[in-house]
Amino acid sequence: MQLDGIIFDKDGTLFDFAATWEAWAMAFLDRVTQGDRAWAMDLGARVGFDYEDQRFQPDSIVIAGTPEEAAGALLPGLPGMARTRLVEILNEEAAAAPQAEAVPLRPYLESLRAAGLRLGVATNDAETPARAHLSAAGVVDMFDFIAGFDSGHGGKPAAGQLLAFLDHTGLDPARVAMVGDSTHDLIAGQAAGMRRIGVLTGMAVHGDLAALAEFVLPDIGHIPGLIGLHPRSALVG
């Protein structure tokens, strides 16, 4: 696979999904329910999160959805809460969520930049917490382009963010890879005419991604081998 650019999803791709967002869900639910366990369990179920087990269901809206979509699912269980305020709280807790890097990101991204690749991030998170996460990891400067669902290009599975990356960099989509952990990521990549790489650091399993991805890898650390930056790593499937 010969590439001039890579655009990454954030959660479940650059960062391990469960380690980050299970902690976020617990913090958010405890905050809005003021520790009311039964209420927290009900709210969690509305977005596919098991409060008792502290685990997301594979079909949770949080996995690939936007904060606006999560807010829509939560609002019926939060009488009197304004949608705009709920989205603010979701984003505040997201910005504070602990981040577990899928691989040590700074040296990894430096190696890709040194090889001449243009890099971007396309996330269904809001742009402000996305930048906070990348800044906390010390890698925000590694990217030519960062877009959240609220950056003016829409969210995935639509291709707007990816097309904006192409416009920004001037790259040929056939020489750019979309890398993500969900079908939303891969559908967006396909719509943008990009190459597609799935990774298993989110909630999806190999079978979920294989029909849409050209390659499914354990994590982003295997990409340099795939594109010839060092000896090829073992692929999954």
pLDDT digits (tens, 9 = 90+) for 91-140: 888 888 888 999 999 999 999 999 999 999 999 988 998 999 999 999 99
Map out the domains of the chain as residue ranges: 5-16+100-226, 18-96
Class of the CATH-defined domain 5-16+100-226: alpha beta
SS (H, E, C) 50-94: ECCCCEECCCCHHHHCCHHHHHHHHHHHCCCCCHHHHHHHHHHHH
Write down the pTM of the prediction: 0.83
Q: Is the predicted pLDDT of residue 89 greater than 60, yes or no?
A: yes
Q: If pLDDT is split at 50, 70 and 90, which confidence band does 230 have?
A: low
- Residue owning tokens 């959805």: 65
Q: Is the predicted pLDDT of residue 231 greater than 70, yes or no?
A: no
| Residue 146 backbone dihedrals phi, psi, to 5 degrees | -135, 125
CA distances from 144 to 36, 106, 122 (A): 43, 15, 11
Q: If pLDDT is split at 50, 70 and 90, which confidence band does 215 have?
A: very high
